[in-house]
Amino acid sequence: GAPGDVNSNVLVARSTGDAQLDKAVWQWLSWDKNQKTKEQIESLLQSGKHKELRDRLCCRLTFGTAGLRSAMGAGFCYINDLTIIQSTQGIYKYLERNFSDFKQRGFVVGYDTRGQVTSNCSSKKLAKLTAAVLLAKDVPVYFFSTYVPTPFVPYAVQQLGAVAGVMITASHNRKEDNGYKVYWENGAQIISPHDKEIIKCIEECVEPWNGSWNENLVDTSPLRQDPLKRICDSYMEDLTKICYHRELNVQTSLKFVHTSFHGVGHDYVQLAFKAFGFQPPIPVPEQKDPDPDFSTVKCPNPEEGESVLELSLRLAEKEDAKVVVATDPDADRLAVAEQQENGCWKVFTGNELAALFGWWMFSRWRENCSQDADLGNVYMLATTVSSKILRAIALQEGFHFEETLPGFKWIGSRVKNLLDNGKEVLFAFEESIGFMCGTSVLDKDGVSAAVVIAEMATYLQGQSLTLAQKLVDIYEMYGYHIAKTSYFLCYDPPTIKRIFERLRNFDGPQSYPKCCGVYNILHVRDITTGYDSSQLNKKSVLPVSKSSQMITFTFQNGCVATLRASGTEPKIKYYAEMCALPGHSDRSALEEELWRLIEALIENFLEPGKNGLTWRSA
């Protein structure tokens, strides 16, 4: 038989000497219609690379903190045409069980600008296949005719009354990756039990159905609609609900530079600025258009700070623009830098921006609320690894603050729940520069955050203040909150598990550490096991999340530190924050203490030398 002939492949496949692998190889070669990924598996088979075949074919994608995310390429645990078809078939099956009106209400599909030539794989193509699976089953699909910011998908799901939606994106991950983010009818990312149930459904129908490969259906099916204009217009209109000083924006002399990091953000941020009455921000020409190779940055993550913002800061200096806003490639996160009086740039951390947003959204609410507005109904939220600054503001001002597990999917679901109970949510965030201003979108949104920052800077300029000066005011008023977040790379999952297990059995079986170097530990909370020493019943208030590693230590000196394994990348992250009360304003002493504690944490609990971890800046 010819190489493409399934029967000849079966004979070759039998010779791997591993029945499970043989079956997986046979399935792949008989199901995959993408020549490039099929050839990747064929060539591994021919060169006898059984270990790599096993790695690629004998495990499945699972839902992490942001849906399915993996490298593009051949294999059942990679992102490719076949695994996207399988995932969508599973989702179809699950939604059909859950919604009797699925075929009336329909499904939303959006995508970013990622792609990989060697696998003939792009976000748009994967989105077309996602749509094809559903259209072939007579489900109406709202398929965006061009790339959109991730927040447009949850927004569209709510606006159009769809049962669910998918965004094909890997956000700010390296260029090799792609992903599949699922939103439920409430406009929030799916959480348990939906994710577990969908995985079960995917496993029930792994073989592609008849119509599933027909990517041209989006061009020919009468059930496909393009929601782009309607959603974009409606989104920009809704955005003006959080615009408070249009008259200042129209006249401001402040100039802004925007970089979209080779992703989707350019057009949409331009429109958002226009909606607020601003002149358009100055785009960074080299980074304004989509480029799946992200060729001008070492990694497409604006969190990395000054090193990746180089082009935008140089342009801002040339144009005399004082503020730079950077959206990540799918425009759901925002980095901000401001030029200081000495000419240097301050790149704000996610936690610092949250202090500014928290102050701003609350003070605008207070200025614009009715006489009888009830503070008891007002909420702000943050994930548990984020700064506690909102807690301090809430305590002093009298509104509510709540924490969730890491991942915006938890925030989205909780916010929806609060709104359904008549509460008002002003702002929510996660420290990895994810912000939700207002509640038009129940997910992080870099487009709205960018224009809110611009309005804030404009307003502050009228009071002769910079963002950085206002930040100091906020800390002076509510207490300094100094946080440091970083990570170690670890490409070996068993090592990660071992590090956390050692902490659970530190002074003997089932006993957590009582100190870290010279620092005494007051409380330990382990989200993986559901243990919390600070609670009377020793049970964590936040839900248990067995599949992810995460332990939080509260120290006697007021520091809170969390160690966790990333849900989307091969990293162990650490988060540490010193929270001082108002009046304790010796910032340098607090910073010094925090650094020493972090050193102890790394040395005693992570043991990078022994465990072969590389620190991010190395």
Looking at the structure of the chain, the number of domains it has is: 4
Which whole number is the average pLDDT over 117-141?
Answer: 98
Domain limits at 426?
A: 351-365+372-477
Strands 323-327 and 256-259: parallel
Whole-angstrom CA distances from 506 to 497, 498, 513, 527, 600 are 14, 12, 5, 17, 15
Mark whether 282 and 422 lie in a shared domain: no
Mark whether 464 and 382 lie in a shared domain: yes
Task: For residue 15, tell me if it sits in a domain.
Answer: no
CB-hemisphere CA count at 13 Å for 238? 18
Nearest residue to 315 via CA among 349, 291, 339 = 339
CB atoms within 10 A of CB 226: 13
Mark whether 172 and 295 lie in a shared domain: no
Q: What pLDDT is recorded for position 569?
A: 84
Task: For residue 5, tell me if it sits in a domain.
Answer: no
Mark whether 440 and 492 lie in a shared domain: no
Mark whether 87 and 152 lie in a shared domain: yes
Mark whether 51 and 112 lie in a shared domain: yes
Task: For residue 393, tell me if it sits in a domain.
Answer: yes
List the structure tokens of 56.
């690629």
List the structure tokens of 48.
């006898």
Q: What pLDDT is recorded for position 338?
A: 98
Q: For residue 413, indicate whether it is catalytic.
A: no
Q: Kindly report the CATH number assigned to the domain that includes residue 336.
A: 3.40.120.10
pTM to 2 decimal places: 0.93
* Secondary structure class of 107 (helix, strand, coil): strand
Mark whether 434 and 326 lie in a shared domain: no
Task: For residue 106, tell me if it sits in a domain.
Answer: yes
Mark whether 324 and 419 lie in a shared domain: no
Whole-angstrom CA distances from 373 to 135, 275, 402 are 47, 28, 20
Considering the candidates 171, 432, 540, 548, report the single residue annotated as catalytic.
Answer: 171
Which whole number is the average pLDDT over 8-16?
Answer: 53
Mark whether 83 and 176 lie in a shared domain: yes
Cis peptide before 543 (omega within 30 of 0): no
Q: Kindly report the CATH number assigned to the domain that includes residue 569.
A: 3.30.310.50
pLDDT tens track for 452-463: 999 999 999 999
Mark whether 201 and 54 lie in a shared domain: yes
pLDDT(12) > 60: no
The 8 Å CB, 24+ separation contacts for 467-473 are 467/323, 467/336, 467/338, 467/348, 467/356, 468/338, 468/340, 468/346, 468/348, 470/356, 470/359, 471/348, 471/352, 471/355, 471/356
Task: For residue 2, tell me if it sits in a domain.
Answer: no
Residue with tokens 């503070």: 375
Task: For residue 16, tell me if it sits in a domain.
Answer: no
pLDDT(8) > 80: no
pLDDT tens track for 192-251: 899 999 999 999 999 999 999 999 999 999 999 999 999 999 999 999 999 999 999 999
Mean pLDDT of the chain: 95
Task: For residue 18, tell me if it sits in a domain.
Answer: no
pLDDT tens track for 549-587: 999 999 999 899 999 998 878 999 999 999 998 887 788
Mark whether 472 and 485 lie in a shared domain: no
Q: What pLDDT is recorded for position 16?
A: 79
Angstrom distance (rounded) from CA 315 to CA 538: 54
> DSSP of 40-106, one letter per residue?
HHHHHHHTT-HHHHHHHHSS----BBTBEEEEBSSSTTSBSHHHHHHHHHHHHHHHHHH-TTHHHH-
**pLDDT more than 70, % of the chain:** 97
Q: Are 448 and 327 in contact (CB under 8 A)?
A: no
Mark whether 463 and 494 lie in a shared domain: no
Task: For residue 113, tell me if it sits in a domain.
Answer: yes
Provide the pLDDT confidence category of residue 1 given band limits of 50, 70 and 90. very low
Please enumerate in sequence order all residues whose Cβ is within 8 A of that of 44, keeping only pairs 6 or more positions apart, or say none. 52, 53, 56
List the structure tokens of 451.
């224009």
Which whole number is the average pLDDT over 583-600?
Answer: 91
Q: What pLDDT is recorded for position 616?
A: 80
